[in-house]
């Protein structure tokens, strides 16, 4: 059996100009990066009213892998098999995790976007530009303090940390500015992973260059000794930061192994950020194809909720259908089966774990749009297990459709694609979860009770003080972006399935005034991951002819 | 008068494939990055024996600006005016200084490489890849310690620091790994600027992918508790790091405003590293054109010496001529004139300051190859000053030729180009400054006495202990790379002109076993610069149509 990278390396890709031309993108709107990657200059794209948007989300991810990206890509290819024009919009992978745990973000088997080595490494440099822009702002802040501190910034209250696109736990908490007067002001600081940067969120939510600048100018960098907020605008460096992001703002175009166009752009994690690709990428796809498939990170409780409450309103178009990806294996794991026992048939555990899926189905149905479950097939699934799962799904009055894109590519998801063509034509009103001008505590409570299935929200002392402060400043009407572990509906990663009667603990809020939302940090969620004891980097190699191994 | 960026934005560039084809590079050897940039896959290029190499170096740089890069570019263009085929090899700019002090590294006036915005910002991502690879190694080192530390690495003796391509004094000295057991091991660390990374030196000195891997494997990362050296090979991550640098290793091709091909690749600073573009870029230029002009960083005491002693032997070709760039203004400054008075004629100060040039001429003559002085014309130069300078140069038995490329482009340096055609045909034996198997202290002493004009070298206690240690380990036969301020022959930046009777103080050595040299840190030279009180970033902007201002 071929590995993902072998399948990708043997693929016959089309020249990127051909892929672009097929969906009406002219060469003058393309900036080529080699033969198979391009940036597209497509800000302020108009979306034809009859073009459809499909959101792919999933159950809570598990160590068993639910294959959401693979399904998204295969589904995109399936539309071609039923003679419909389709484009895909996806997030870019972060290099930190690529070096850590095997598993890139370009799909798998015969459902991949390509060239996978490039996309999983530096691609077109977007994350590098974000890292550089973020840390340039950090340097400019400390440099301002060094040269007289006209703004009266309090070094103890700088909220703008530093970032690297690397899993590096050693940099989570640091002391900087040591070495005496000529080497800065000693203070506490920390590094986040680049995908957690507010600039990443801003890049993904900006409609155009002017919107990008507007958002950058509003970024909160810290407070004065008098506790007054200080922004990028106050520091006077909006232009320099926008300039560093000028190319990163343009969506990247690549293709699937079956030549379906894929806009792969932006990549905030859904556990610590809003978790969706850029709205410019989704809009470029919507403009150019009749059907656009986009994916939101992690489960429907995180990426799904954030797409519907934060991102879609900014695109100006709600999804016409929602697909929830589930696998027999992941649900068995939710039902208490250990990882080693997943290959054995276990209908009882599956039925128990399926409650995780059930809650996600009901959650997505709340928003008013048609919901379909995609059962992503694995070799170990037995007919009784698949039947039991389909029965469970029917009880929730939605369709569960088997898809096998890993082995068959687009041909493995034609039934799912046909069903979505039907559901997208249904008239259905979008029902928002909360009103945009609810107080953030009300918004948060609605997410916790109506989506997670918990009882209540508990704010730490710090979070309570922050909330009071935000109400005074008028920041309390912003959308809320919950930072929570992805494995559980609760803030404890070990509680699988569909737990009830729990509390969500908010340890602190972070105002992301440029992105336009307030982050609520819950439980122990970390904004800088670490590497495992055997990082994937140890198994990577490149031979003298440039052939890569060990990248998955 | 138009600014550099305006001249560049109004230039009619040729498509990069046309530029490449003119010098025999086929489309299949090119990877396009947009229409005006490309990477060239040209490792192990053979250099035809009759192709000539010209090294451009200069007097000690001053705040007045000596315009070495501008001269190099204009000289490249001048060869076309005298019907000779020429290519240029240059370093890539570092973004840190671009954000700090006005002055990119793409030339000026009508002697520029283009597109200047791209080259001065992220270009083709080489520096981002180096930053990522460098810090990935850092994370892997600390991760190894975190997960049991099988190699017995001493956290107090990790020599591999972290890097960013940012001028950020606040990160020079830091304490990392705070926050308890799950967030690493507390230890001292620091950030250098990316151009000071050993990986930058390795990239610039590698002949091909196999050589790159070999060099990476030899990098010293620290010592065990038993004081035994530990390398990247011991850590087992050579392949992953080489993989991250696979594209960065390929030279970038751009063009001058007059369409002369320019290979712009790699950029170690000459004050803290070896200061020359990649040998792959120089070899690509040498393969494809009859004349190659390459530039070495800062003055002939730093970049010039390092090119001749470290880089050229690895290219396998010594320069056929050496050009020293001098300006009337910079020499007046060396002669004691203050910056505000430079516009006034002052032949006396010029003659006094010219001793700086005199020493550089004699230094370069030692190496046995023909030397020519290029007087880079400024509007304020008076006829008497230019005549006095020409007379001074004649006393040293070399030619001084006026060039005016800033205002006239290639047309301003045809006399210089014609003279170089003659000198490159002269038979001249290269005389190395030192023998490759001299002890590093002997090599250092020869550099200090024969190039800087000092009396002796003084080693700190630490440096003495290191030297003893290196002799034991057999590292003492490597070439030496002096880290010294660029403004003075001495290790005190304030001593201009041509001082005598001074001592060079080595505060510590750094073994760069992958690059294959030992760095000697002298005086107060810093490996992480800071930003000035009014950083250039404050004046940068990009309008809603993407038009950039404030980038010079």
Q: How high is the pLDDT of residue B550?
A: 87
Average pLDDT over residues B529-537: 95
Q: Which tens digit of pLDDT belongs to each residue from A420-435?
A: 999 999 999 999 999 9
Residue with tokens 């390795």: B202
Mean pLDDT across chain B, nearest whole number?
A: 95
Cβ-in-10-Å burial (0-12, 13-18, 19+) of B489 comes to: buried
Residue B341 CB partners (closer than 8 Å, separation 6+):
none
Reading the block at residue A537, the tokens are: 């980097």
What is the pTM for the complete model shown?
0.96
Through-space distance between the first and last CA atoms of chain A, rounded to whole angstroms: 14
Task: Name which of B376, B370, B384, B425 is nearest B401 in CA terms.
Answer: B376
Q: How high is the pLDDT of residue A384?
A: 97
Dihedral angle of Cα B13, B17, B22, B23, to the nearest 10 degrees: 110
Helix, strand, coil proportions of chain B in percent (round to 5)?
40, 20, 40
Q: How high is the pLDDT of residue A193?
A: 96
Instruction: Give the bridge partners for A519, in sequence order.
Output: A481, A510
B70 is catalytic: yes
Q: How high is the pLDDT of residue A428?
A: 94
Q: How high is the pLDDT of residue B486?
A: 92
B133, B190, B542: best to mutate for the A interface, most A CBs within 10 A: B542
Q: Which tens digit of pLDDT belongs to each residue from A189-244?
A: 999 999 999 999 999 999 999 999 999 999 999 999 999 999 999 999 999 999 99
B215 is catalytic: no
Q: How high is the pLDDT of residue B301?
A: 96
Res B96 pLDDT > 80: yes
Residues of chain A with CATH 3.10.410.10: 440-522
Instruction: Give the bridge partners for A255, in sequence order.
Output: A114, A261
Res B1 pLDDT > 80: no
Residue with tokens 């030692």: B366
Rounded Cα distance, B550 and B538, in Å: 9
**SS3 track for A210-278:** HHHHHHHHHCEEEEECCCCEEEHHHHCCHHHHHHHCCCCCCCEEEEECCCCEEEECCCCCCCCCCCECC
Q: How high is the pLDDT of residue A174?
A: 98
Res A52 pLDDT > 90: yes
User: pLDDT higher for B157 or A62?
Assistant: B157
Res B103 pLDDT > 90: no
Q: Does A142 lie at the interface with B, CB-CB under 8 angstroms?
A: yes
Task: Name which of A61, A56, A30 is nearest A111 in CA terms.
Answer: A56
Q: How high is the pLDDT of residue B215?
A: 98
CB contact under 8 A, B174 and A170: no
Reading the block at residue A431, the tokens are: 């029902």
Q: How high is the pLDDT of residue B171?
A: 98
Res A102 pLDDT > 70: no
Q: Which residues of A touch B15 (CB under 8 A)?
A: none
Average pLDDT over residues A96-121: 88
Q: Where does the pLDDT of residue A3 fall: very low under 50, low under 70, confident under 90, or very high at 90 and above?
A: confident
User: pLDDT higher for A468 or A297?
Assistant: A468
Rounded Cα distance, B9 and B118, in Å: 11
Is A107 part of any known ligand binding site? Answer: no
Q: Does B407 lie at the interface with A, CB-CB under 8 angstroms?
A: no
A-contacting residues in B 183-242 (Cβ below 8 Å): 183-185, 208-210, 213, 236-237, 239-240, 242
B126, B169, B241, B549: best to mutate for the A interface, most A CBs within 10 A: B169
Residue A69 CB partners (closer than 8 Å, separation 6+):
A90, A105, A106, A107, A108, A295
φ/ψ (deg, to 5) at A519: -85, 135
Average pLDDT over residues B466-485: 96
Q: Where does the pLDDT of residue B220 fall: very low under 50, low under 70, confident under 90, or very high at 90 and above?
A: very high
User: pLDDT higher for A438 or B551?
Assistant: A438
Cβ-contact A341, A323 below 8 angstroms: no
Cβ-contact B141, B149 below 8 angstroms: no
Pick the CATH number of A128-233 from 1.10.3720.10, 1.10.10.10, 3.30.1510.10, 1.10.540.10: 3.30.1510.10
Q: How high is the pLDDT of residue A84?
A: 97
The crossing angle, in degrees rounded to 10, of helices B68-81 and B414-425 is 80
Mean pLDDT across chain A, nearest whole number?
A: 95
Topology of the domain comprising B440-522: Formyltetrahydrofolate synthetase; domain 3 (3.10.410)
Q: How high is the pLDDT of residue A466?
A: 97
Residue B378 CB partners (closer than 8 Å, separation 6+):
B327, B328, B329
Q: How high is the pLDDT of residue A414?
A: 98
Res A1 pLDDT > 80: no
Q: How high is the pLDDT of residue A93?
A: 92
Q: How high is the pLDDT of residue A10?
A: 85
Q: Which of B4-18, B170-184, B500-514 has the lowest mean pLDDT?
A: B4-18
Average pLDDT over residues A427-454: 96
Residue with tokens 């470290």: B310
B269 is catalytic: no
Cβ-in-10-Å burial (0-12, 13-18, 19+) of B454 comes to: buried
Average pLDDT over residues B187-211: 96
Residue B94 CB partners (closer than 8 Å, separation 6+):
B105, B127, B165, B193, B194, B195, B267, B269
Q: How high is the pLDDT of residue A41?
A: 84
**SS3 track for B44-92:** CCCCCCCCEEEEEEECCCCCCCCCHHHHHHHHHHHHHHCCCCEEEEECC
Cβ-in-10-Å burial (0-12, 13-18, 19+) of A382 comes to: middle
Average pLDDT over residues A467-476: 96
Rounded Cα distance, A515 and A275, in Å: 13
Q: Which tens digit of pLDDT belongs to each residue from A262-274?
A: 999 999 888 888 8
What per-residue string of b and e applies to B44-82 under the rule 16 or more CB within 10 Å gives b?
A: ebebeeebbbbbbbbbbbbebbbbbbbbbbbbbbbbbbe
Q: How high is the pLDDT of residue B102?
A: 64
Rounded Cα distance, B463 and A6, in Å: 51
Residues of chain A with CATH 3.30.1510.10: 128-233
CB contact under 8 A, A168 and B142: yes
Homologous superfamily (CATH) for A4-125+248-424: P-loop containing nucleotide triphosphate hydrolases (3.40.50.300)
Instruction: Give the bridge partners for B375, in sequence order.
Output: B326, B402
Res B330 pLDDT > 70: yes
Q: Which residues of A touch B166 (CB under 8 A)?
A: 132, 135-136, 139
Q: Among all residues of chain A, which has the CA nearest to that of B209? A: A544
Reading the block at residue B434, the tokens are: 């030192």
User: What distance separates the 2 farthest-apart alpha carbons in chain B?
Assistant: 72
Q: Which tens digit of pLDDT belongs to each residue from B116-166?
A: 989 999 999 999 999 999 999 999 999 999 999 999 999 999 999 999 999
Res B467 pLDDT > 70: yes
Q: How high is the pLDDT of residue A65?
A: 76
Q: Does B151 lie at the interface with A, CB-CB under 8 angstroms?
A: no
Q: Could you give the percent of chain B with pLDDT greater than 70? A: 99
Q: Could you give the percent of chain A with pLDDT greater than 70? A: 99
Q: How high is the pLDDT of residue A103?
A: 63
């Amino acid at each position: 059996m071929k590995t993902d990278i072998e399948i990708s390396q043997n693929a016959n890709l089309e020249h990127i100009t051909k892929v672009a031309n097929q969906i009406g993108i002219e060469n003058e709107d393309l900036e080529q990066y080699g033969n198979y990657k391009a940036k597209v200059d497509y800000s302020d794209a108009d979306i034809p009213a009859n073009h459809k948007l499909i959101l792919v989300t999933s159950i809570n991810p598990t160590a068993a892998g639910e294959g959401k990206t693979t399904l998204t890509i295969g589904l995109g290819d399936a539309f071609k098999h039923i003679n419909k024009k389709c484009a895909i919009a996806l997030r870019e992978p972060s290099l930190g995790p690529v070096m850590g745990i095997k598993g890139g973000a370009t799909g798998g088997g015969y459902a991949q976007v390509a060239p996978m080595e490039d996309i999983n490494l530096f691609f077109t440099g977007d994350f590098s530009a974000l890292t550089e822009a973020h840390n340039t702002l950090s340097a400019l802040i400390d440099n301002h303090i060094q040269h007289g501190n006209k703004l009266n910034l309090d070094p103890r209250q700088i909220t703008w940390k530093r970032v690297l696109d690397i899993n590096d736990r050693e940099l989570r908490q640091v002391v900087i500015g040591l070495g005496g007067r000529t080497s800065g002001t000693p203070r506490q600081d920390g590094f986040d992973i680049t995908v957690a940067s507010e600039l990443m969120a801003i890049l993904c939510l900006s409609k155009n260059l002017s919107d990008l600048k507007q958002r950058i100018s509003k970024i909160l960098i810290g407070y004065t000794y008098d506790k007054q907020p200080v922004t990028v605008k106050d520091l006077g460096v909006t232009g320099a930061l926008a300039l560093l992001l000028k190319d990163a703002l343009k969506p990247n175009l690549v293709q699937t192994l079956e030549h379906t166009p894929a806009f792969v752009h932006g990549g905030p994690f859904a556990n610590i950020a809003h978790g969706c690709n850029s709205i410019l990428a989704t809009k470029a796809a919507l403009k150019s194809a009749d059907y656009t498939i986009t994916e939101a990170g992690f489960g429907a409780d995180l990426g799904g909720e954030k797409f519907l409450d934060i991102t879609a309103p900014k695109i100006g178009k709600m999804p016409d259908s929602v697909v929830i990806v589930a696998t027999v294996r992941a649900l068995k794991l939710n039902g208490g089966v250990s990882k080693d026992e997943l290959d054995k048939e276990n209908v009882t555990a599956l039925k128990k774990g399926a409650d995780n899926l059930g809650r996600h189905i009901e959650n997505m149905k709340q928003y008013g749009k048609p919901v379909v479950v995609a059962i992503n097939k694995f070799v170990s699934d037995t007919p009784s297990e698949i039947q039991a799962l389909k029965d469970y799904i029917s009880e929730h009055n939605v369709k569960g459709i088997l898809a096998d894109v890993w082995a068959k590519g687009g041909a493995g998801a034609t039934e799912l694609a046909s069903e979505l063509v039907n559901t997208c034509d249904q008239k259905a009103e979008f029902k928002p979860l909360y009103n945009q001008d609810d107080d953030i505590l009300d918004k948060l409570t609605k997410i916790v009770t109506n989506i997670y299935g918990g009882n209540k929200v508990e704010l730490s002392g710090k979070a309570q003080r922050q909330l009071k402060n935000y109400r005074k400043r008028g920041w309390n009407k912003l959308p809320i972006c919950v930072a929570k572990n992805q494995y559980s509906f609760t803030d404890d990663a070990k509680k699988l399935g569909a737990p009830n009667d729990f509390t969500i603990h908010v340890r602190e809020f972070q105002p992301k005034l440029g992105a336009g939302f307030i982050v609520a940090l819950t439980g122990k969620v970390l904004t800088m991951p670490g590497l495992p004891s055997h990082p994937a980097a140890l198994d990577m190699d490149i031979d003298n002819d440039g052939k890569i191994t060990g990248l998955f």
